[in-house]
Structure 1
Amino acid sequence: MSEDADPDEGDPEPAENISGGDPSASSFAAFDAAEAGTRAEEVVNRLGDLYWQKTYGGRDAFECLVRTILSQNTSDVASQPAHDALMETYGEDSEATDLAGALADADHDELADTIRSAGLYNRKADVLISVADRVLADYGSAAEFDAFVREEDPEEVRPVLLDFGGVGPKTADCVLLFAGGRGGVFPVDTHVHRIYRRLGIAPADADHEGVRAVLEREVPAEKCGFGHTASIQFGREYCSARKPACLDGLDECPMSDICDRVGVDVESRAVVDPAEATLDAD
């Protein structure tokens, strides 16, 4: 999921969202909050009450991979038109029978121009063509790649995705979550990385993989999906990088009573990355 898309006002997480695909595989579902076993679970429970509790899955794995690559280092406002243009030219809206085959055969400059709105379009065109070549070489088609992502053990799928050039941990985990519908996968973007270190749930100096390890250990598998998407929304609305809501009063943030505010000094209104706060303390 990209970091900057605004939710629909009347329905903040509609059935047709970043996961796309079969609505029955990506639908609202209530989870019993009960008594949280960890502080991380308590945060996710509150986010579920504040925003949404949703299961994910159902998107074609290769298209999900393409879409997530397009969203790297940009917003949905920029990447969505690029995705739509790509699908019209090379995907289901074109005469192509297989998206991977169409992208593998694509002219680099034409593809780059098609996805220009996503930014870094030359590099992303390189990555998309390379990934499409790899999928065809290893699986024969986008459909067979989709079956691999959905059916094989995530512990086998994730290293394969990470071995694709231009695919990092967040991209791999988004494919596992939004296409594979895998429980227990908690993708870590910049919002998630910031929030859970600021809360004091993950170590202040943890990298993205370190935060992911903590969350996937301490949040029940069935809550990781909406935990990821709701955390992103919480990061936009309350726990932003430069001006978290607590600066305007602790009662402005629904997590203030369970937050360590690492890197946030409410009195001086100074805000730094949690890792920098730890260095200063030393």
Structure 2
Amino acid sequence: MDDPEPERNISGGAAGGGTEQGFDPATAGTRAEAVVDALGELYWQKRYGGRDGFECLVRTILSQNTSDKASQPAHDALVDRYGGGDLVAALADADQQELAETISAAGLYNQKSERIVAIAELIREEYGGEGAFDTFVKDGDPDEVRERLLDFNGVGPKTADCVLLFAGGRGGVFPVDTHVHRIARRMGLAPADADHETVREHLEAAVPAEKCGFGHTAMIQFGREYCRARKPACLDDPDACPLAEYCDQVGVYPASGEVVDPAEASD
């Protein structure tokens, strides 16, 4: 069964946040850039940034191991109950079980509520509150911000990079989720056996900084619509994929109908 995801990436489309960012899709310097250009023409070109740093962090934690369809209601319920003031202070003082009930739509709510309360307590202790943490995320050295975010329990590279992108507005940040990880290796933009961090390094090195943000969100949309994990569009019809000309089809075997993880693909 396919993942239960909404039809549209919540960071894409006309109402998905960010500001329109045009680009010239003339001769791309790398194949990865050509792929991102094609995705931008297929979906959207945007510049992200400006979200509140802590709320963005919380929102991304809620999205871990679940879909937008589940995490968005949990985020909205959290903001309804605890928003309106300093969200760091409100969540640092929150009753963990009450918070767990509030975000139950997101799944793994006990674990996520524990992590959110603990992170809020650390941020209040270290930065004093929501405003100072937001300033750190937006104005601090990006490497230092990423390192500090990764120090928080439950915050991995993808979560840290999403905060840098959607709150910090940092160029050259290409967060890697399961869709990006699969597609980059399937298309041959990164080694077939690359882990998430290695895929990120390849994409950030090959895609111009101003294109990484919408490259991330548009690639997620492409993964939902065309390059699905078990049933990519090219499996039955090579012409069904709008990015077919760029793809190595690593791990996809139309002749046999087999689809495997790129790392397990035969030579």
TM (norm. structure 2) is 0.96
Measured after TM superposition, the shift of residue 77 of structure 1 is 1.3
2:149 aligned with 1:161: yes
Aligned-partner Cα distance in 1 for 2:252–2:175 = 24
Residue 145 of structure 1, aligned match among 125, 133, 157: 133
Residue 44 of structure 2, aligned match among 49, 52, 55: 52
Report the secondary structure of 1:193's partner residue: helix
Letter in 2 for 1:81: P
Q: Which residue of structure 2 lines up, in the alignment, with residue 172 of structure 1?
A: 160
Q: Is the 8 A contact 1:177 1:185 kept in 2?
A: yes
Aligned-partner Cα distance in 1 for 2:30–2:4 = 26
Q: Which residue of structure 2 lines up, in the alignment, with residue 43 of structure 1?
A: 35
Report the secondary structure of 1:145's partner residue: helix
Q: Which residue of structure 2 lines up, in the alignment, with residue 91 of structure 1?
A: 83
Letter in 2 for 1:129: V
Letter in 2 for 1:251: D
2:220 aligned with 1:214: no
Moved over 4 A (4+): none
Q: For the aligned residues, what is the CA RMSD? A: 1.6
Q: Is the 8 A contact 1:3 1:189 kept in 2?
A: no
2:21 aligned with 1:33: no
Aligned-partner Cα distance in 1 for 2:203–2:52 = 26
Q: Which residue of structure 2 lines up, in the alignment, with residue 131 of structure 1?
A: 119
Aligned-partner Cα distance in 2 for 1:184–1:246 = 30
Letter in 2 for 1:14: A
Q: Which residue of structure 2 lines up, in the alignment, with residue 266 of structure 1?
A: 254
Q: Which residue of structure 1 lines up, in the alignment, with residue 7 of structure 2?
A: 6
Measured after TM superposition, the shift of residue 3 of structure 1 is 9.0
2:224 aligned with 1:232: no
Q: Which residue of structure 2 lines up, in the alignment, with residue 253 of structure 1?
A: 241
Measured after TM superposition, the shift of residue 12 of structure 1 is 5.7
Could you tell me which runs of 5 or more consecutive residues in structure 1 were left unpaired when the two chains were aligned: 21-25
Aligned-partner Cα distance in 2 for 1:90–1:199 = 43
Measured after TM superposition, the shift of residue 5 of structure 1 is 3.2
TM (norm. structure 1) is 0.91
Q: Which residue of structure 1 lines up, in the alignment, with residue 62 of structure 2?
A: 70
Measured after TM superposition, the shift of residue 4 of structure 1 is 2.8
Letter in 2 for 1:244: P
Report the secondary structure of 2:249's partner residue: coil
Q: Is the 8 A contact 1:193 1:211 kept in 2?
A: yes
- Listed one character per residue, the Cα deviations across residues 33-81 of structure 1 (whole Å, up to 9, x for unaligned) are 1101111001000000100001101100000001110111111111111
Aligned-partner Cα distance in 1 for 2:7–2:143 = 32
- Listed one character per residue, the Cα deviations across residues 173-229 of structure 1 (whole Å, up to 9, x for unaligned) are 000000001110000000000001000110000000000000000000000000000
Structure 2 CA distance for partners of 1:3 and 1:56, relative to 1, 3 Å? farther
Identity of aligned residues (%): 66
Letter in 2 for 1:13: G
Letter in 2 for 1:85: A
Letter in 2 for 1:6: E
Aligned-partner Cα distance in 2 for 1:29–1:111 = 37
Aligned-partner Cα distance in 1 for 2:238–2:78 = 45
Letter in 2 for 1:229: T
Report the secondary structure of 2:47's partner residue: coil
Q: Which residue of structure 2 lines up, in the alignment, with residue 23 of structure 1?
A: none
Letter in 2 for 1:7: R
Aligned-partner Cα distance in 2 for 1:54–1:266 = 34
Aligned-partner Cα distance in 2 for 1:219–1:66 = 28
Aligned-partner Cα distance in 1 for 2:238–2:36 = 19
Letter in 2 for 1:42: A
Report the secondary structure of 1:205's partner residue: coil
Q: Is the 8 A contact 1:3 1:232 kept in 2?
A: no
